[in-house]
Structure 1
């Protein structure tokens, strides 16, 4: 057992007596405890040490002195170590204070980012509400679209009926106009006039026509009747063909309208897909922004937990396996390097501040200078601003390097404190314990957010492909539908012209029948009356007069003076 003791000499009539008064006992390498009370041990080497000298005494278990040596050198070493430890403790206190300030700053930054996250979360909630509104509007839009489609079908049916009625009205109008304007050909009119004059002559002469002449006239009439029947048959064939074309055209119109309705539904669906794409793109952008904010917060918390080292890499395992003495030397070296760099950066900062002051003074002089002096001062101002910009850009990298060096040094110091099992290591562990659940939660939210981002990207890509395919399919169909409509309208115009032709043909048939029938009646009357009843005023004369009125109404026969 090693003790710190004091030489105690006492003089008496029998001579001097030397004893060792034990002062402190060594517990460990750096730990001594005082000896309670006053404990004395006999000591024979009285001539080696003077009274009051401090010595180190090694005592065995039987309280016998085994070895005594001067404690002066040991005490000097202990005092030196004590002074060094005081300086080290002072430095560590300053470092702890720096860490506290850094933690305060990082806590404030974390609070600010939490506020920002809350604001972004509110924005996301608002966006979700808007998305729900859009979804509700989409549902309402689909309901409205179904109602519109039903109304459209009703309107198309009414429109089709209206078009059919309008077509029938136009056909009837054309038939009426054609019938009103229909007339016989010039040759037919001349033949009818010839027959009419012969009939009138025969009746005017008062004689009856013989049977041969009547049969000859009947032969001419039979030819007209045969021609009339041929015209009637051709008109009927044309009308049947026209009716078939009308039915075919109605079916074509119906098919076109059905295709048009399908195209319009596809166009509505395309617009809806484009709206959904816009909403999902906005959601993706906001989610990416939110994930970036979470990543920034996680990075800040990791910096609080591990110490900010910037882009510098620190092998923590090597630091933990390094001896304490080597680690102390490394920390001392890093501190010296940091002091040099900090001094240099501070000098540069002061120079930058002086440069800014010069710029401020020049700006003030430019405002107060005359026009001539302002040109010179403006050049100087631009030069100073350029120098300030270059110096500031240089300092940006130096500031970053200084910050990285500080982070590296703090990390080394923290490892050293942990190795020394100081108070701050427990504080550090407490910080790590508190931050670890937060970091795990942020990591889980980041992974979930990344999955949501990927899902949104896949959905957006799918919708984009769907929109592109729909556009590629719809555009040719729309163009083909427009061309089809033009063709149908051309067919409808051609069909209207054919209706006019058929109406004109039926008008001719009706007109010729209206002309031939009175003449046939007159001829039949002459054949039935006989030659003795040739006086005027009878039925033959009335038939001839009626026929002349018909021809006069057609505007083809001049007004003839009746034969008395």
Structure 2
């Protein structure tokens, strides 16, 4: 697990070199989050690099709290974390600004709705007033109809009376003139006709005033229709923009899928290379075991590599007490090294369990969490590989130390006069075979180094592809959010447009019957005016 630590104290030993005390401050979890380490836990490490007290470093600890690898300076990681926090704060700030804009837009829409409701109420009041005036005019029209009916009845009765009286030509001129004057007085009622003319003139003036008011409403309705057409065109342009952004979003999605396929191909190649590397390591291990088996069969035949590292002349000339001290010292170092290798073996076992757990989680993980788990799995597999390679060298080093210690013991026993007769009797010259195995081992080692370089190159390419994929995914999320916002804006525009269109249609439905009724009544009044004059 990765830890952030602070250098507290550095001491220089006489033999062990520099010892550094590190205070654990925070640890990184599998989900890439950090948490503080409780207490004052200290870790001691031995490194050749010197760090100043108070410096911040990154270290990796195994399950047994053993330091893995060398400490690294924490400044780059802190900078990356601060950059992530800064980007997150910018996103939060942008979201807050968008929320504030939405609030302002909602406030403006609420005010606009209130204003429109007040306008509709005012128009309804005007319509009610106009209806009252129409009712008054309708009453006047009915009164005029009744007056006309009475006038026609009077004329009919007068005509009947004239028929009953007969022709006036037989009467004297004075009586005929008197009767004509009486008929004219009955026919012409100046007070009634004058009152009727005044009522007709008032009705015509009222009609003109109401028509002027209606003309204002009709003009406003035409302006609203023009505004409605403009809003419809704007909604159409916004729809085209949303469709274009959706096409771009689909193109970005296709690029992401292509990048995913490329990552899967590279991961397949990487796994194949790693499998081949595992078989190569197994081959190297097999060669080493065969070589050790031959040496153990020969017993008297010593490992040429170990022979090259032993200065027999120095051992033969060294005083026996000093040789015994040297053997005791090497034996103690060997015991410490055995314990260290055992700890590494245990840590490798824990690491294998971690990799197996991550592989099991990856089988049933959600798509949104797959990338983080795959990245964690790749990291844990890399740690496992490095630990395995380190243990391979440490096992070989352990056997080499055991062989050297065995040769020292043999020299000491021979110098004391304790000869191994069984070894001398069974001594076989297998040096040519062992040298051939060493050559094969060197060839496989070169192949292994070349394969490790290829794996490292593929890992770098894979890391670049994943970074590119992560960038494309971030861009896709931003575009998706923008398209969603534009869709919401488009839906809001459609809602406002439908509401405005309904308002225009409602006004037209209200004004048209009023206009028709006003026109019909005015035509009737004008006809009555022509009859009076």
Normalised by the length of structure 2, the TM-score is 0.41
Normalised by the length of structure 1, the TM-score is 0.39
Higher-Rg member (1/2): 1
